[in-house]
Amino acid sequence: MKGKNPKIKTFWQRVGLSFILLTFMGIFITPIYSFSETIEQKSMGAQYPVTPDAVPAALKDRIFLVMKTDKAQAYIDEIVQVTIQLCSRGVTLRDIQYPQLFHEDFSIQEFDHPVEKKETMNGVFFEIIEFKTKIFGKKSGNFKLGPSRVQCTLMMSKQEGGNQPSGDGTTVDTYFGTSENYPLKIASASIPLKVVPLPGKGKPADFSGAVGNFNFTLEVHPKEVKLGEPMTLKMTIEGRGNFNTVVPPRIEKRSSFKIYDPQKKKEEGLIIYEQVLIPQSEAMREIPKIHFSFFDPEQGRYHTIQRGPLPIKVIKPDPEEGQTMSRVPEPIGRNLITVKGSPGRLRKKGDLLYKNKTFWMLQLLPLFLFLSLMFINKKKEKLRTDLRYARRQEAKKRAKKGVQEAERFLKKGKPIEFYDSLFKTLQEYLGNRFYLPVESMTGEVVDERLRPQGIDEEVLKKLGDLFNECDRVRYAASITGKKEMEEALTRIKEVIPYRESQP
């Protein structure tokens, strides 16, 4: 560049550097595929937040969320059952998360384990994942509950004319790289819910807020004690309702009892309170009456259950026991120096703890324990939130149990029950393994559904033969011998380990 203006040289260097930077950035800025405006654009592997209206307009009647309650009006603290249904038709959803539902005026419990089923709506079949939870209002008023939201992933097939949602026929696209996953957040409509206060009429003086339909039982053990010894009062409350509002019934405080705070044990539909009492007088002959009051929202009125009095017997302790208990050791004189009978444990001088190898090994135990618990918790969380992964993990367990059941029928010489068990085992294993409806797995569709998975022709043939053989014996009542049953059992044992070895 000798003889040329250095300013021009610097200018063209800057232009070249800018061109290279823009070209490099364009790789990430320019979208690879085009989608509907309501679907977030993303490149491979990128993660982007989505808005509540991320479902494309063309899919509104194929993917939607329905929320409903078992009642439109409830009392304060009355349990209301909330059902949220994720409905889909002709699309493939995965990585489905638990619903998000929040309202500051309601207490919302954790969701139950989801249930998969099929329902007909306006003559059209939908695949439904149903979530249920319980809520109760904390104050009275007219409220709008929701909307609830569910996050999931929509599988989109790569087509020449753009990306289209994949349905049952393209479920296996994921394994061959012919589809991409796009996050969706689906919202339901809000529903009105009226919460009314508990009535003041007929309210018992000892009512502590329990709402539901309960039963109350009372027992004491032991019924006979010596003066100063403890006895346990067991109070059991069971039934249906909001157990968060239940508090332990109060025993009347008397000077003849020393009363300790009750210990609580909660189970499904049941609360047990155990309270320690120590009688302070020999004249005590009974545990006084105890009342438990609650409001039944179904009947709209208050109830009070009375239990007791419970008879007890307090025995005066023997004089010798009383003297032993009251005997106090005499203090040693201050001016006397006691002789130490043993030198105690001897330790080498300069033996420092931080130089001990065993000490350092013990310090690693909490770390190993923490990592183990973290791994276990991560796996449990994935099983709880990823339905596809959970069904895949369950497939092999169910298949093992099904094979064991078939072996029992084989030993007993029951061919019909044997082939019924094989047929059910095949259906459940293939449906759970490939995240397909269990009922749809039959001999007629196994080739159509599983061939795109890249399964060997020999394995496909074994599966088809197994289904056909099961149908022949179950419905045509064909006669089959023990040798044929053993061969069928051998084939299914070969097919299942083959699939488990595949990715």
Q: With bands split at pLDDT 50, 70 and 90, how would you rate the model's confidence at 406? A: confident
Which of 133-147, 334-348, 483-497 reaches the highest mean pLDDT? 133-147
Query: So what's the pLDDT on residue 142?
Result: 95
- Decide if pLDDT at 230 tops 80: yes
pTM comes to 0.52
φ/ψ (deg, to 5) at 427: -60, -50
Q: Are 227 and 279 in contact (CB under 8 A)?
A: yes
Based on the fold, state whether residues 88 and 126 are members of the same structural domain: yes
Q: What distance in Å separates the CA atoms of residue 159 and residue 178, rounded to the nearest whole number?
A: 9
Q: Is position 353 within any domain? A: no
Q: With bands split at pLDDT 50, 70 and 90, how would you rate the model's confidence at 200? A: very high
Pairing of strands 73-75, 191-196: parallel
Mutual orientation of helices 482-500 and 387-412 as an angle, nearest 10°? 160
Query: So what's the pLDDT on residue 139?
Result: 92
Domain end marker among 282, 298, 315: 315
Mean pLDDT of the chain, nearest integer: 78
Based on the fold, state whether residues 113 and 240 are members of the same structural domain: no
Q: With bands split at pLDDT 50, 70 and 90, how would you rate the model's confidence at 117? A: very high
Query: So what's the pLDDT on residue 274?
Result: 94
- Decide if pLDDT at 42 tops 80: no
pLDDT tens digits, one per residue of 3-40 = 555 545 555 565 565 555 444 444 333 333 333 333 33
Mean pLDDT of 215-241: 92
Q: Are 248 and 333 in contact (CB under 8 A)?
A: no
Q: Is cis: bond before 147, omega within 30 of 0? A: yes
- Decide if pLDDT at 221 tops 50: yes
Query: So what's the pLDDT on residue 137?
Result: 94
Query: So what's the pLDDT on residue 151?
Result: 92
Q: Is position 240 within any domain? A: yes
Q: Are 114 and 129 in contact (CB under 8 A)?
A: yes
Query: So what's the pLDDT on residue 258?
Result: 86
Cα(first)–Cα(last) distance of the chain, in Å? 60
* Percent above pLDDT 90 for the chain: 32
Query: So what's the pLDDT on residue 35?
Result: 31
Q: Are 470 and 419 in contact (CB under 8 A)?
A: yes
Query: So what's the pLDDT on residue 434?
Result: 73
Distance of CA 3 to the CA centre of its chain: 78
Q: With bands split at pLDDT 50, 70 and 90, how would you rate the model's confidence at 232? A: very high
Mean pLDDT of 149-153: 92
The CA-based angle 253-258-263, given to 5 degrees, is: 90
Q: Are 500 and 455 in contact (CB under 8 A)?
A: no
What CATH number is given to the structural domain containing 300? 2.60.40.10
Based on the fold, state whether residues 89 and 180 are members of the same structural domain: yes
Q: Is position 311 within any domain? A: yes
Outline where 291-386 has alpha helix (H): 319-326, 357-385
Based on the fold, state whether residues 246 and 164 are members of the same structural domain: no
pLDDT tens digits, one per residue of 323-377 = 544 444 444 444 545 555 566 666 665 566 667 788 888 888 888 888 988 888 8
Picking from 47-51, 130-134, 315-319, which range would have the lowest pLDDT averaged per residue?
Answer: 47-51
Q: Is position 341 within any domain? A: no
pLDDT tens digits, one per residue of 89-112 = 988 888 999 999 988 899 999 999
Q: Are 167 and 90 in contact (CB under 8 A)?
A: yes
- Decide if pLDDT at 477 tops 90: no
Q: Is position 376 within any domain? A: no
| Higher local confidence (pLDDT), 416 or 164 | 416
Q: Is cis: bond before 199, omega within 30 of 0? A: no
Mean pLDDT of 128-139: 95
Mean pLDDT of 209-216: 95
Based on the fold, state whether residues 187 and 218 are members of the same structural domain: no
Taking Cα atoms as reference points, which of 250, 263, 39 lies closest to residue 153? 39
Residue entry with tokens 């991560």: 378
Number of domains in the chain: 3
- Decide if pLDDT at 449 tops 90: no
Q: What distance in Å separates the CA atoms of residue 400 and residue 395, rounded to the nearest whole number?
A: 9
Please state whether 33 falls in left (phi above 0), alpha (psi between -120 and 50) or beta: beta
Q: Which amino acid is at 442?
A: T
Q: What is the token pair recorded at 465? A: 């033969």
Query: So what's the pLDDT on residue 15?
Result: 52
Based on the fold, state whether residues 72 and 175 are members of the same structural domain: yes
Distance of CA 294 to the CA centre of its chain: 31
Based on the fold, state whether residues 140 and 220 are members of the same structural domain: no
- Decide if pLDDT at 166 tops 70: no
- Decide if pLDDT at 47 tops 60: no
> Which burial class, exposed, middle or buried, applies to 241 when counting CB atoms under 10 A from its CB (0-12, 13-18, 19+)?
buried
Q: How many CA atoms lie within 13 A of 35 on its CB side?
A: 26
Q: What distance in Å separates the CA atoms of residue 446 and residue 427, rounded to the nearest whole number?
A: 10
Mutual orientation of helices 357-385 and 387-412 as an angle, nearest 10°? 90
Taking Cα atoms as reference points, which of 106, 109, 189 lies closest to residue 149? 189
Q: Is position 326 within any domain? A: no
Residue range of the domain that includes 304: 211-315
Q: What is the token pair recorded at 298? A: 């179904």
Picking from 21-25, 191-195, 354-358, 429-433, which range would have the lowest pLDDT averaged per residue?
Answer: 21-25
Name the maximum alpha-carbon separation found in the chain: 124
Which of 179-183, 344-348, 487-491 reaches the highest mean pLDDT? 487-491
| HEC assignment per residue over 140-201 | CEEEEECCCEEEEEEEEEEECCEEEECCHHHCCHHHHCCEEEEEEEEECCCEEEEEECCCCC
pLDDT tens digits, one per residue of 251-301 = 876 557 888 889 999 988 899 999 998 888 888 888 888 999 999 999 999
Based on the fold, state whether residues 68 and 184 are members of the same structural domain: yes
Q: What distance in Å separates the CA atoms of residue 247 and residue 243, rounded to the nearest whole number?
A: 9
Domain end marker among 137, 168, 196: 196
Q: Is position 52 within any domain? A: no
The CA-based angle 381-385-387, given to 5 degrees, is: 125
Q: Is position 202 within any domain? A: no
| Higher local confidence (pLDDT), 454 or 254 | 454
Mean pLDDT of 53-71: 84
Domain end marker among 280, 315, 350: 315
For the CA atoms of the chain, what is the radius of gyration? 36
Based on the fold, state whether residues 138 and 257 are members of the same structural domain: no
Query: So what's the pLDDT on residue 49?
Result: 39
Q: What distance in Å separates the CA atoms of residue 476 and residue 469, rounded to the nearest whole number?
A: 10
Q: Is cis: bond before 415, omega within 30 of 0? A: no
Q: Are 158 and 178 in contact (CB under 8 A)?
A: yes
Query: So what's the pLDDT on residue 88?
Result: 93
Query: So what's the pLDDT on residue 73?
Result: 95
Q: Are 135 and 82 in contact (CB under 8 A)?
A: yes
| Higher local confidence (pLDDT), 47 or 193 | 193
Query: So what's the pLDDT on residue 27?
Result: 37
| Higher local confidence (pLDDT), 380 or 125 | 125
Q: What is the token pair recorded at 178? A: 């012919």
Based on the fold, state whether residues 241 and 281 are members of the same structural domain: yes
Based on the fold, state whether residues 159 and 188 are members of the same structural domain: yes
Q: What distance in Å separates the CA atoms of residue 166 and residue 179, rounded to the nearest whole number?
A: 8
Q: What distance in Å separates the CA atoms of residue 182 and residue 34, rounded to the nearest whole number?
A: 13
Based on the fold, state whether residues 182 and 61 are members of the same structural domain: yes
Q: What distance in Å separates the CA atoms of residue 212 and residue 198, rounded to the nearest whole number?
A: 12
Q: Which helix (H) or strand (E) holds 277?
A: strand 270-279
φ/ψ (deg, to 5) at 323: -70, -40
What CATH number is given to the structural domain containing 163? 2.60.40
Picking from 39-43, 48-52, 173-177, 196-200, which range would have the lowest pLDDT averaged per residue?
Answer: 39-43
Taking Cα atoms as reference points, which of 272, 296, 275 lies closest to residue 214? 296
